[in-house]
Structure 1
Amino acid sequence: MSTASEVVRGFYRAAQAGDGGAILALLHPEFRARTAPGMPCGAGGAFEGPEETLVRVWGAVFAAYDTAPYAESWHETADGLVVVTGSYRGVSRGSGRAYEAEFAHLWRVTDGRISWLHQYTDTARWHEALAATA
Structure 2
Amino acid sequence: MTNLDIVKSTYEGKTSAENGQNLQRFITDETLWTEAAGFPYAGTYKGFADIEKNVFARLRSEWTNYNFKVEDYVASGNKVIAYGTYSGTYNATGQAFSARVAHLWLLEDGKIKSFEQFVDSKTVLDAM
* Range into which the TM-score falls when normalised by the shorter chain: 0.7 to 0.9
Q: What corresponds to 1:72 in structure 2?
A: 71
**Whole-angstrom CA distance in 2 between matches of 1:129 and 1:22:** 30
DSSP-derived class of the 1:95 partner: coil
1:126 and 2:121 are equivalent in the alignment: no
Runs of 4+ in 1 over 6 A off after TM superposition: none
Task: Look up the match of 2:43.
Answer: 45
For structure 2, the 5+ residue unaligned runs are: none
Cα offset for 1:36?
Answer: 0.6
- Asked if the contact 1:10/1:26 (under 8 Å) is kept, the reply is no
- Structure 2 distance, partners of 1:22, 1:55, is 17
Q: What is the CA-CA distance between 1:26 and the residue it aligns to?
A: 3.0
The structural deviation recorded for 1:21 is: 4.2
- Larger relative strand fraction: 2
Relative distance call for 1:109 and 1:57 in structure 2 (3 A) is same
Q: CA RMSD in A?
A: 1.8
Point out where structure 1 has 5 or more consecutive residues left out of the alignment. none
SS in 2 for 1:53: helix
1:102 aligns with 2:100: yes
For the residue of structure 1 that corresponds to 2:92, the secondary structure is coil
Once residues 12 and 56 of structure 2 are traced to their aligned partners in structure 1, the CA distance between those partners, rounded to angstroms, is 14
Q: Contact 1:4–1:80 (CA<8 Å) still a contact in 2?
A: yes
Alpha-carbon separation, structure 2, partners of 1:8 and 1:23: 8
Spell out, residue by residue over 1:35-76, the C-alpha distance to the aligned partner (whole angstroms, 9 max, x if none). Answer: 111211xx1011111210111022222221120211112111
For 1:61, give the aligned amino acid: L
| Structure 1 position 18, deviation (Å) | 5.1
**1:18-37 maps to which residues of 2 (within 5 A)?**
20-37=20-37
Q: 1:95 Cα deviation (Å)?
A: 1.8
> What are the superposed Cα offsets for residues 79-99 of structure 1, whole Å, 9 maximum, x if unpaired?
220011111111112222211
Shift of 1:24: 2.0
TM-score, reference length from structure 2: 0.86
Displacement of 1:113 in angstroms is 2.5
Q: SS of the counterpart of 1:8? A: helix
